[in-house]
Amino acid sequence: MTRLPHYAAMLAMAGVLPSDEQGWAYEAKFDGIRAIGYIEDDLRLMSRNDKNITAAWPEIADIAPAAPRFVVDGEIVALTADGRPSFEALQPRMHQRNPAKIHALAKAVPVTYLIFDLLHIGDRSLIGLPYQQRRQLLEQLGLDGPHWQVPPRLPGTGADELAESKRRGLEGIVCKRLDSPYLSGRRSELWTKVKNVHDQEIVIVGWRPGTGRRAGGIGSLLMGVRDATGKLVYAGGVGTGFTDTMLDALQTRLLPLQRKTATVAADVKDAVWVEPELVGEVVFAEWTGDGRLRHPSWRGLRPDKSPREVIAPPLQ
């Protein structure tokens, strides 16, 4: 049997609700780790930046074996008691590679693989089919297990579903054209994400030492993003949203990355600069006119994303 073909995730563009309701379907936007799942004799999970992350999520393994074999796209999430995804709860599991600790965390913070697209089945690629047909085929597979499921499509209008997502404290919705093919590895407005919050991926370029209760550790992180030319530029600092555990883990990761000079132009006199290798995510109020993030709050590291992907939106 030949190896299943490789598929890269199709990415949604940020935007607004469609002006016409006809021709669109709506799904909840999940706050987790994107993963392409290859299910045959065993499960193989590949991250958005094409890393094998199967070992980190052992509770999903029982989705295999499968006949016929298939490939799906979905999001790994940690659900709270009221059914909301918690990105913070995923953080201790993202970087863990010790098998004993992985299995202990899987019991303490179990995850669910929320599957929203079917890319391949048997020996047939489905990515050229319209979304509506792929979704119908996916629902026919009956993927409903203890740690995986196919979340329902949202039945209301875009405006109603966006309002409901905000009421429930969710991140937003994704609008998908019914006739959309699956554009592997591409970002397209055929999938449009509409959010209730502003968030931004950032590259950690340094930190400022803490004072008071944070003395001896990290006080705030210094952020960078790439501009339209691909140049890494300073986007300000973030000093809120951290737990003590997060700060300790960040310091452990950042200490080996220290460097003497900055990789961005920033007038920060007490900075400890680092190689721009780690990607994180913040929520924020707005972009300022000089390209800084206003009132950012830390959400967590994004090991599934590469520093070269972190691009600032055009300033309005």
pLDDT tens for each residue of 133-188: 999 999 999 999 999 999 999 999 999 999 999 998 888 999 999 999 999 999 99
* 19-28, 72-81, 90-99, 109-118: the lowest-pLDDT one: 90-99
CA separation (Å) from 201 to 15, 206, 278, 304? 17, 15, 10, 11
Residue 92, pLDDT score: 85
CATH number for the domain running over 199-309: 2.40.50.140
- How far apart are alpha carbons 294 and 283 in whole angstroms? 9
Q: How many Cα atoms occupy the beta-carbon half-sphere of 164 within 13 Å?
A: 13
pLDDT at 190 exceeding the cut of 80:
yes
Query: What is the token pair recorded at 183?
Result: 């554009």
CB 259 within 8 A of CB 274: yes
Task: Look at the alpha carbons of 192, 115, 70, 41 in this order and tell me if their dihedral is positive or negative.
Answer: positive
**Any idea how long the chain is?**
316
Arithmetic mean of pLDDT over the chain: 93
Residue 84, pLDDT score: 83
Residue 304 φ then ψ, to 5°? -85, 0
Q: Which of 29, 176, 195, 305 is catalytic?
A: 29
pLDDT at 129 exceeding the cut of 50:
yes
Query: Sorting pLDDT into bands at 50, 70 and 90, what band is 81?
Result: confident
pLDDT at 68 exceeding the cut of 80:
yes
In the chain, the percentage of residues whose pLDDT exceeds 70 is: 99
Residue listed under structure tokens 């890269």 = 8
Q: Which of 222, 220, 225, 218 is nearest to 202 (CA)?
A: 225
* 50-54, 118-122, 197-201, 204-208: the lowest-pLDDT one: 197-201
In the chain, the percentage of residues whose pLDDT exceeds 90 is: 75
Q: Which of 15, 127, 130 is nearest to 72 (CA)?
A: 127
Q: Could you tell me which residue, 213 or 204, shows the higher pLDDT? A: 204
pLDDT tens for each residue of 12-54: 998 999 988 889 999 999 889 999 999 999 999 999 989 999 9
Residue 71, pLDDT score: 98
Mean pLDDT of all residues in 217-225: 96
Active site residue 29: yes
Q: Could you tell me which residue, 303 or 121, shows the higher pLDDT? A: 121
pLDDT at 253 exceeding the cut of 60:
yes
Is domain 11-195 annotated with CATH 3.40.640.10?
A: no
pLDDT at 316 exceeding the cut of 50:
no
Q: Which long-range contacts (CB under 8 A, 24 or more apart) does 43-51 make?
A: 45/76, 47/303, 47/304, 48/8, 48/9, 48/304, 48/305, 49/304, 49/305, 49/306, 49/309, 50/8, 51/304
Mean pLDDT of all residues in 283-310: 91
pLDDT at 294 exceeding the cut of 80:
yes
Query: Sorting pLDDT into bands at 50, 70 and 90, what band is 315?
Result: low
Question: Over the Cα atoms of the chain, what is R_g?
Answer: 20
Query: Sorting pLDDT into bands at 50, 70 and 90, what band is 1?
Result: low
Domain ranges (residues) in the chain = 11-195, 199-309
- How far apart are alpha carbons 65 and 75 in whole angstroms? 20
- How far apart are alpha carbons 167 and 289 in whole angstroms? 31
pLDDT at 2 exceeding the cut of 70:
yes
Q: Could you tell me which residue, 79 or 262, shows the higher pLDDT? A: 262
